[in-house]
Amino acid sequence: MTHTLPIAPWRLFTVEVRAVRRLSPSFVRVTFTGPDLDRFADNGYDQRIKLALPLPGQRGVYLPEGPDWYARWRNLPEHRRNPIRTYTVRAVRPYLAEVDVDLVLHGDGGPATRWARRVRPGDEIAILGPDAGYGGDHGGVEFRPPSTGCLLLAGDETAVPAIGAICERLPLDARGRVLLEVPETADAQPLLAPPGVEVTWLSRGTGDHGSQLVAAVATVAGELLADVAIPPVTAPVTDVDVDVDSEILWEVPDEVPPSPLYAWLAGEAGMIRTLRRHLVAERGVDRRAVAFMGYWRLGRSHDV
Instruction: Sort 70 into a burial class: Cβ within 10 Å, 0-12 / 13-18 / 19+.
Output: middle
Tens of pLDDT, residues 45-75: 999 999 999 888 777 788 887 778 888 888 9
- pLDDT, residue 125, reads 93
Q: Mean pLDDT over residues 114-136, rounded?
A: 92
The whole-number pLDDT of residue 70 equals 82
What pLDDT, on a 0 to 100 scale, did the predictor assign at position 55?
A: 87
Q: What are the DSSP calls for 55-83, one per residue?
A: PTT-SS-----STTHHHHHHTS-GGG---
**How do residues 164-195 score in pLDDT, each as one tens digit?**
999 999 999 999 999 999 999 999 999 999 99
- Average pLDDT for 105-131: 87
Helix (H) or strand (E) holding 273, with range, is helix 269-277
% of the chain with per-residue pLDDT over 70: 88
- Does the domain formed by 10-130 have CATH 3.60.20.10? no
Q: Which helix (H) or strand (E) holds 268?
A: strand 261-268
Q: What is the pLDDT of residues 272-301, one digit of tens each?
A: 999 999 999 999 999 999 999 999 987 665
Q: Mean pLDDT across the chain, nearest whole number?
A: 88
Question: Which pLDDT does position 227 carry in this prediction?
Answer: 67
Per domain, the residue ranges of the chain are 10-130, 150-296
pLDDT for the residue numbered 304 = 46
pLDDT the model gives residue 28: 96
Residue 245 has pLDDT above 60, yes or no: no
pLDDT given for residue 3 in this prediction? 45
Q: What are 38's strand-pairing partners?
A: none
The whole-number average pLDDT for the span 251-259 is 86
Question: Predicted confidence band at 232 (pLDDT cuts at 50, 70, 90)?
Answer: very low
Architecture of domain 150-296: 3-Layer(aba) Sandwich (3.40)
pLDDT above 50: residue 109: yes
